[in-house]
Amino acid sequence: MSFTIIGTGSKVPALVKTNEQLADLVETSDEWITTRTGIKQRHICTTESLADILYDAAASALDDAGTRADELDLIVCATIRGDYISPSLACVVQERLRASCPAFDINAACTGFIYALDVAEGYFARKKARKALVLAAEAMSKTVDWNDRATCVLFGDGAGAAVLAEGDDLLSIKLTAVGNTGPLFIPHVGGNCPFVAVQSARPYLSMQGQDVYKFAVSSMCRDIQDVIKEAGIAKTDIAYVLPHQANIRIIDAAQKRLKIPQYKYISNIEKYGNTSAASIPLLLDEANRDGRFKCGDILVLSAFGGGFTTGACVIRWNR
Ligand SMILES: CC(C)(COP(=O)(O)OP(=O)(O)OC[C@H]1O[C@@H](n2cnc3c(N)ncnc32)[C@H](O)[C@@H]1OP(=O)(O)O)[C@@H](O)C(=O)NCCC(=O)NCCS
């Protein structure tokens, strides 16, 4: 017993900033950002909290699934940073949904949605859940240094959700982590403890872009090969690959190495940038609502992120 996806939802905040508009803030250009990353614009939380957009994504997924919030047995939310350190974002959304089930956050950076699917799978396997809500939401705009052109142009804010029910459509899943904090990290904003002399000097996302790039391409290739092997399928059986939307060049490089045809790769990075854990459920929801998936389609999800974490899975679309 694993699960089947019975509904999806997503939401992005209203404010859109194009590459040209960022060129008014830092020394960059639409040409540099587009050719290096594929990103054309991103959405940014202003008046919205993360819980606001995540609630809308969750409500829309429940509606798509024809499921009431009181039917949920689990809410698990992937985020690197909710609106509060405590309570969890999952609990804040649970309150608004009026659900009453275990609810908690997990942090696996950009791989978070796949980690959350794995957590949910455990609830189904132990028969502790018949319906689960898997969420992901990020406000990356609150973590980057808006004076640093090397990072602020890459990220965006968004939220995604999937409702899972008992089923056998998770055909394989793999998670990895290799503790390596150097290339990608975000320090805590310091408190005001009077016994601590030095507070964090630069409380923003730091990234060694080329190290992350190399890790991303090689891990994505390895993980996709591993999960399709474990699922007992061939590359030709895959209908769509939904890769984490960090950089179109990473996706293209992995696609070429894996020799899975490009038309099978779904991407929306141009509209949203890298929304961390929210990127795959945003992609999933857009493709679902476009009517792109047919019943029986084999989907491959693959992500990587800070940690370093990676994850991939094979899911049969069964709606
Ligand atoms: C970030 C990334 C796009 C940078 O591309 P790159 O080809 O490696 O570029 P570099 O960092 O080598 O920088 C090249 C030059 O562009 C400059 N540059 C960096 N950001 C720029 C920007 N927004 N606009 C214009 N120039 C920029 C750099 O200062 C550097 O200039 P220099 O040669 O004069 O020193 C790329 O490394 C990447 O995508 N890495 C993976 C990041 C990622 O996926 N992170 C999320 C993980 S979940």
Q: Which atom of ligand 1 is nearest to the CA of 149?
A: 23
Q: Mutate which of 113, 210, 250, 280 to test ligand 1's pocket (most atoms within 8 Å of Cβ)?
A: 210
Q: Specify the pTM.
A: 0.97
Which of 130, 151, 168 is the endpoint of a domain? 168
Number of domains in the chain: 2
Kindly report the protein residue whose alpha carbon is nearest to atom 13 of ligand 1.
150
**What pLDDT is stored for residue 200 in this prediction?**
60
Which of 125, 145, 168 is the endpoint of a domain? 168
**What pLDDT is stored for residue 188 in this prediction?**
85
Where in the sequence is the domain holding 55, given as residue range(s)? Answer: 2-168
207 and 147, same domain (yes or no): no
199 and 275, same domain (yes or no): yes
Cα separation of 308 and 276, whole Å?
13
74 and 220, same domain (yes or no): no
**Centre of ligand 1 from the C-alpha of residue 242, in Å:** 24
Pocket of ligand 1 (CB under 6 A): 28, 32-33, 36-37, 110, 149-150, 153, 207, 209-210, 212-213, 216, 246-247, 250, 274, 304-305
201 and 295, same domain (yes or no): yes
148 and 161, same domain (yes or no): yes
58 and 39, same domain (yes or no): yes
Cα separation of 252 and 247, whole Å?
9
210 and 299, same domain (yes or no): yes
CATH number (domain holding residue 224): 3.40.47.10
Which of 146, 168, 190 is the endpoint of a domain? 168
* pLDDT tens series, the chain, 319 aa: 799 999 999 999 999 999 999 999 999 999 999 999 999 999 999 999 999 999 999 999 999 999 999 999 999 999 999 999 999 999 999 999 999 999 999 999 999 999 999 999 999 999 999 999 999 999 999 999 999 999 999 999 999 999 999 999 999 999 999 999 999 999 987 788 888 876 666 889 999 999 999 999 999 999 999 999 999 999 999 999 999 999 999 999 999 999 999 999 999 999 999 999 999 999 999 999 999 999 999 999 999 999 999 999 999 999 9
101 and 245, same domain (yes or no): no
Q: What DSSP line would sit under 194-229, residue for residue?
A: TT-----S--S-EE-HHHHHHHHHHHHHHHHHHHHH
CB contact set of 47 (below 8 Å; sequence gap of 6+): none
**What pLDDT is stored for residue 122 in this prediction?**
98
Provide the β-strand partners of residue 180.
307
